[in-house]
Amino acid sequence: MDVIVCVKQIPDPETPAAAFKVDEAAMQVLPAQGISPVISPFDAQAVEAALRIKDASGDGTVNIISLGPDSARDAIKHSLAMGADEGYHLKDDAFEGGDAWTTALALSKAIQHLGVPDVLIFGRQAADWDQGTVGSIVAELLDLPSATVLRAVELNGGSITVSRVVADGFENIDLPTPCVLTISNEFGDPRYPQLRQIMQAARKQVTELTASDLGLDPSEVGAAGSRVQMHALFQPTSDVEVEIIEGDTPEEKAAGLVNALREAKIL
C-alpha cells in the first residue's frame, strides 16, 4: 500500500520561554539561537502511522513531502531515518509567507504530480500555529474522503478502519482508499531512528520541486495567494504583583491572607 505523509519543520516546542522572540514589525517568530527546529511531533506520529500501514500491507512505499525553507529538509531526513522511502521538498521563494490554503494547494499539486497514493497522512495539526486545517483542505481539493484526529489506523481488506477521537469518547469509521487521515497524539510514540538509519537517510537524495514544476503561478501561492491576512503578531505581556503575607505563625498568616482577600473583594 502506497502512502504519502506531509510533514512540517517547526521551532522546537521545548524552546525555553526566555529564548522565544517575535519580530513584531515583520510579524515573524525569530529562530532561537542555538536551538535547531524539529519535525512537528504530530507529523512524526503521522510518519509512524504510515510505516505501520506499510508493514501491515507487506509492500508499498512511504514518501514524504514538506514545504518550507532549507531547514524543512531536516524534517524530511528525519522521516527517511524513521524508515520512509523517498523525500520531496517544495522549495521556492514563491511559497514564502503562505497560509493554510496556499500550503494545502501546493501540497495537493505535489501529490497529483507524484500520483495520488492509497493513503495520505498528516499530523492532526502543526505544533506551532495549531490550526489543524491543511489535511482537510487537501482532502477537499483532491475530492477524497477524510477522517481527522485519529488514535488508531488498521487495514481492513481494501479499506481503512480508523478510531477517531471525539469529545465524549471515540468513534470507528471505515473509509475507502484513497483517503486522507490526520493522526493525533493518542496514536502513540513514533519510533526513534537509530544511528545506522540516520546515516543511511543522510545519503538519500531529496527531490526539490518548485511552483513551476507543479504548474502553479506565483500569484496562487505564498503571501500573494494567501486568504488569511495577519494584522499583528506579538508576545503577550504578563504583569504579576506579589504580596507577602507576614505573620509569626501559620494562623496569623492565614488570617492576614483572609483580610487581604476581603480587601481585594475576592471574598
Quickly state the pLDDT bin for 39 (edges 50, 70, 90).
Answer: very high
41 lies in the same domain as 122: yes
Residue 184 lies in a domain: yes
Residue 230 lies in a domain: no
Per-residue model confidence as pLDDT tens digits over 23-38: 888 888 888 888 889 9
Q: Which residues of 218-239 are buried (b: 16+ CB within 10 A; e: fewer)?
A: bebbbeebbeeeeeeeeeeeee
Per-residue model confidence as pLDDT tens digits over 91-130: 999 999 999 999 999 999 999 999 999 999 999 999 888 8
- pLDDT at position 20 is 82
Give the pLDDT mean for 191-204: 93
Prior bond of 250 cis (ω within 30°):
no
209 lies in the same domain as 262: no
SS3 at position 30: strand
Residue 239 has pLDDT above 80, yes or no: no
202 lies in the same domain as 85: yes
Q: Where are the alpha helices (DSSP H) in the chain?
A: 41-57, 72-82, 100-114, 134-142, 195-203, 222-225, 250-263
- pLDDT at position 15 is 86
Prior bond of 178 cis (ω within 30°):
yes
Residues contacting 192, CB < 8 A, separation 6+: none
Residue found under cell 474522503: 145
220 lies in the same domain as 256: no
Residue 64 lies in a domain: yes
Residue found under cell 501546493: 106
pTM, 2 dp? 0.85
Residue 193 lies in a domain: yes
29 lies in the same domain as 82: yes
Q: Is the dihedral of CA 14, 206, 224, 182 positive or negative?
A: negative
Residue 161 lies in a domain: yes
Side-chain half-sphere CA neighbours of 108 within 13 A:
22
Residue 179 lies in a domain: yes
Give the pLDDT mean for 225-251: 86
More confident site: 243 or 62: 62
112 lies in the same domain as 39: yes
Residue 105 lies in a domain: yes
128 lies in the same domain as 248: no
Residue found under cell 480587601: 263
Q: Which domain holds residue 104?
A: 3-225
Please say whether the beta carbons of 156 and 174 come within 8 A. yes
> Residue 135 sits in a domain of what CATH number?
3.40.50.620
136 lies in the same domain as 202: yes
- pLDDT at position 122 is 97
46 lies in the same domain as 147: yes
Residues contacting 20, CB < 8 A, separation 6+: 11, 29, 32, 235
221 lies in the same domain as 241: no
64 lies in the same domain as 109: yes
Q: Count the domains in the chain.
A: 2
More confident site: 156 or 178: 178
Give the pLDDT mean for 153-161: 89
19 lies in the same domain as 97: yes
Residue 190: which of 67, 81, 85, 57 has the closest Cα? 81
Per-residue model confidence as pLDDT tens digits over 201-237: 999 999 999 999 999 999 999 999 999 988 898 888 8
- pLDDT at position 19 is 84
Residue 139 lies in a domain: yes
